[in-house]
Homo-oligomer: A and B are copies of this chain.
Amino acid sequence: MRKSSQVTQSKIAKLLGISTVTVSKALRNHPDISPETIQRVKRLANELGYTPDLIARALSSRRSNIIGVVLPEIDHTFFAGVMKGIYSVAEENHYQIVLTVSREDDQREVENLQTLAAMRVDGILISISQKTQDVQIFRKIRERKIPVVFFDRIPDDNGFSSVVVNDREAAFQAVQYALDQGFTRIVHLGGLQHISIARDRAAGYWDALHAAGMKENDGCVIPCGFSEEDGYLAFKQMMQTQPRADAVFTVNDPVAIGVYDAAKETGLRIPEDIGVIGFSDNIISRYLSPPLTTISQPAQEIGRRSVLLLLEALQRPDRQSPRQEVVPARLIVRESCLSKKRMETTGS
């Protein structure tokens, strides 16, 4: 025989001489129950310190009020910002968050998704790992009637709802700004090209070059990872293969930081010898010297919108067409890519 000292609905029911269902309904202000009974139940529940058992409720009602989240990494400024947005909206709507981390590993990502499904989360928010190629698992989740919303890093299959930044356009602006400042041999350290955001940013880069009347061989995209280390290495590589480069546009800020390190080591001054523009506005960026010109992504806003999109899908479970939302990123001009022209003219 299992015994439990917990205060349950049936204890309250017994004490008041009513049925457990009445208690359940009373606690939820169900119209079936008279105001007086509701009062009596709630008062006693309060006195006894009753708390609903959310697990039991979830099993019975088939709604867990939990949203599952899968993140590639947890200690990245951008994702931390997204999470902040996610939490604020989730809290307002009385949802709890179960956060899992794939650590950029597609296998772990699959496991995370399976666990979340097994926990019966009501919906899932995910930004996919660097390695993710296979979309199967997402289809399976959808078959299970669990709505999924992707954010920032989305799969190629566009049959899903998603919230992204206007990467291409923002990249275009960044590169155009560099051109305006008089830089002419701009190289793009471009991330892994099978990731949507990396492709989009590279596309924006080419857009800007083309718009300026430049051709394929006036530009160069060097693929690399997304970390400082990767940026450091890619920049070193670039100095070998593209010695005439006068500016770099990086796929994200950590890579730009790697570039700072490599440049410092080589004795190159920023922006006098080499201009740098990043992407994502890491908190660090404004404290670098020189402060990094970069693209600011509204991380919290992305998180907030993702939850809202998911909540909408939860409200009407009939299949609805997926929706893609785009939130605007914008260029933050600081000092790492300041006018070459002006510097030269004022300098000599």
Q: Which A residues have a C-beta under 8 Å from some C-beta of B?
A: 2, 4, 6, 49, 51-56, 58-59, 62, 64, 66, 74-75, 77, 80-81, 83-84, 87, 96-101, 114-115, 117-120, 140, 144, 257, 283-284, 287-289
Contacts and interface: CB of A to CB of B under 8 A. Distances in A.
Cβ-closest 9 pairs across A and B? A75-B80, A289-B289, A54-B118, A51-B118, A54-B119, A55-B58, A55-B120, A55-B59, A287-B287
Contact of A115 (B6, B58, B62, B96): B96
A85 to B, nearest CB: 10
A75 B83 contact: yes
A88 to B, nearest CB: 9
Given A55-B119, A55-B120, A287-B287, 11 more contacts: A2-B62, A54-B120, A55-B55, A55-B59, A74-B80, A74-B84, A75-B77, A80-B80, A257-B287, A283-B283, A287-B289
A87 B74 contact: yes
A117 B51 contact: yes
A55 B51 contact: no
A117 B288 CA distance: 44
A38 B117 CA distance: 24
A53 B119 CA distance: 6
A83 B99 CA distance: 11
Contacts of A140: 49
Contacts of A54: 115, 118-120
A183 to B, nearest CB: 24
25 contacts: A4-B62, A6-B144, A49-B140, A51-B117, A51-B118, A52-B118, A53-B59, A53-B120, A54-B115, A54-B119, A55-B55, A59-B59, A66-B98, A75-B80, A75-B83, A84-B101, A96-B115, A96-B119, A97-B99, A97-B100, A99-B99, A257-B287, A284-B284, A287-B287, A289-B289
Contact of A74 (B49, B53, B83): B83
Nearest to A87: B101
A22 B2 CA distance: 21
A137 to B, nearest CB: 12
A31 B257 CA distance: 56
Contacts of A257: 287
Nearest to A73: B84
Contacts of A81: 75
B75 A118 contact: no
Contacts of A118: 51-54
A284 B253 CA distance: 13
A119 B257 CA distance: 42
Contacts of A2: 62
